[in-house]
Amino acid sequence: MEVDPVTVEDVSANLEPVLSFKEGGVRELIQRLQCSSKRGHGVLPENTLVLERSCEHPAVVNGVCNDCCQKIEEDGNYGLDFSYLHMGLRLSRSEIDRLRCLETERLFSQRKLHLVLDIDNTLIHSFRSDAFSKLGVPKDDMQEVDGIFVKLRPLVSAFLERASTMFEMHLYTLGSRSYAKKMAKILDPQDKYFDHRIISRNESPGLVKTLDLVLGMESSILILDDNDQVWPNHEPNLILMKEFLFTGKKTDENEMNTPLNDILKALSAIHTAFFDDNIQAMFRDRDVRELAASVRSTVLKGCNLYVSNVKYAGILRLRAKELGATCSKELNHSVTHLVSCHKGTEDFNRAASEKKYLVLPRWIKDAYFFWKRPAEENFPIKKSSKAILKAIIACTVFLS
């Protein structure tokens, strides 16, 4: 529907609370909404001419269009919940698309991209106080807010600081809004990184997360999350994180073995590739999903794997291929690595005699989580094959 500029101008001159979102990005939108709620938005003087004919209702607050003050049916057909930007706010699909382009263009001008960060087990591990007391670790190792104990992932503060030079960041959790805000306060005490960009389950559709709620073009958004199940529609945007768990034991992640440093390097490589001045394509025609796949495919380049006697071999092969490895159907001379859980098998003995690398399946997982080829000697195959043990036992029984 075309907006008649003359009508809009004439009427808005008489109507202070009537605001137009035809210009400006998210910041302007929020400013205007805050300004209008202070004035008591949606309350129109009587006998006011309402812009029903020309208004496309871009933003609705508590069921009332903030442009024309018309009541909008909450029948589920109108737009999406953006309460994380402003209480009670819903935006129309076309307004979402408009803001998406605008926000991404704004970031491009600062040579930045969007980064969506999961909170739990990606940046922190949090505990209710009863669960925490079972851990039996000193409280001074943790931060506490309203009975929730929080352990920050090692290097998380440095990670956020450096990531913020390349990305504008969102937090996205399926926890409640109040939980999300509390964790944001701990992660970003000086309020430098996230501003209003904190999305919770209050806005999300059911038990999944969606980039529909992120005001940026999907071709410029990366996601860090330890759970790929919650992102069924955005796998190409996702950098799957190794789950961060705090147990208070020596085996916990520390500053030396956290993946955050390596993830930062991967993010930096993707960012550099995106803003490469030698590429002809306009920024808006570039795609961070393709670049992430391309950077990932260099990790195990040149490795030819033979996966033998391993659970979930299908998914392991898939991950290995994403990392740039090839997978052989047979153990031939071109195979560089035998991936197996058991030593002493026919495959193992042959690969060992041919001086191939012999690694546990965890070697592939680590490559996937750290975006680098792990040292093979750290993943030796130690256990003997259960099949062989069973055969020996069976044989012994038979002979006795």
Residue 120 in contact with Mg ion, rule: CB under 5 A: yes
Among Mg ion, Zn ion, none, residue 68 binds (CB under 5-8 Å by kind): Zn ion
Determine contact, residues 367/359, Cβ cutoff 8 Å: no
3-class SS at 303? coil
Helix/strand/coil percent split, the chain, to 5:
35, 15, 50
Least distance (Å) between residue 102 CB and Zn ion: 20
β-sheet with 89-91: strand ranges across: 64-65, 59-61, 89-91, 80-81
Burial-class residue 175 by CB neighbours within 10 Å (0-12, 13-18, 19+).
Answer: middle
Grouping H, G, I as helix, E, B as strand and the rest as coil, residue 112 is coil
Query: What's the longest Cα–Cα distance across the chain?
Result: 103
Residue with tokens 């073009």, as numbered in its chain: 217
* Nearest distance in Å: CB 307, Zn ion: 58
The yes or no reply on residue 55 touching Zn ion (CB under 5 A) is: yes
Question: Could you tell me which of 266, 263, 230, 267 has the C-alpha nearest to residue 114?
Answer: 267
Q: Closest CB to Mg ion among 124 and 381?
A: 124
Residues 6+ apart with CB under 8 A from 85: 26, 29, 30, 33, 196
Stretches 57-65, 170-178, 329-337, 366-374: which one binds Zn ion (CB under 5 A)? Answer: 57-65
Number of residues that bind Zn ion (CB under 5 A): 5
Interacting residues with Mg ion between 10 and 69 (CB under 5 A): none
**Nearer Cβ to Zn ion (28/287):** 28
Contact with Mg ion (CB under 5 A): which of 20, 92, 104, 121?
Answer: 121
Q: In the numeric block, which tokens belong to residue 142?
A: 């943790």
The residue among 55 and 187 lying less far from Zn ion, judged by its C-beta, is 55
Single out the residue of 18, 33, 59, 65 in contact with Zn ion (rule: CB under 5 A): 65
Scan residues 140-199 and list those touching Zn ion (CB under 5 A): none
Handedness of CA 393, 394, 397, 400 (dihedral sign): negative
Candidate segments 118-126, 161-169, 301-309, 391-399, binder of Mg ion by CB under 5 A: 118-126
SS3 117: strand
Rounded to whole angstroms, the Cα distance separating 107 from 243 reads: 30
Task: Choose between 233 and 272: whose C-beta lies nearer to Mg ion.
Answer: 233
Cβ nearer to Mg ion, comparing 132 with 172: 172
Query: Binding of Zn ion at residue 124 (CB under 5 A)?
Result: no
Check residue 96 for interaction with Zn ion (CB under 5 A): no
Is residue 57 close enough to count as binding Zn ion by CB under 5 A? yes
In whole angstroms, what is the distance from residue 264 CA to residue 271 CA? Answer: 10
Q: By CB under 5 A, is residue 317 in contact with Zn ion?
A: no
From residue 192 to residue 231, the character string flagging contacts with Mg ion as x (rule: CB under 5 A) and all else as - is ----------------------------------x-----
**Residue recorded with tokens 């071109």:** 334
If binding is defined by CB under 5 A, does position 19 make contact with Zn ion? no
Is 95 one of the binding residues for Zn ion (CB under 5 A)? Answer: no
* CB closer to Mg ion out of 164 and 227: 227
Interface with Zn ion includes 68 (CB under 5 A)? yes
Q: Which two tokens stand for residue 210?
A: 């969606």
Are 181 and 152 a contacting pair, CB within 8 Å?
Answer: no
* Selection from 293, 286, 116 nearest residue 216 by Cα: 116
For binding to Mg ion (CB under 5 A), which residues are involved? 118, 120-121, 226
For binding to Zn ion (CB under 5 A), which residues are involved? 55, 57, 65, 67-68
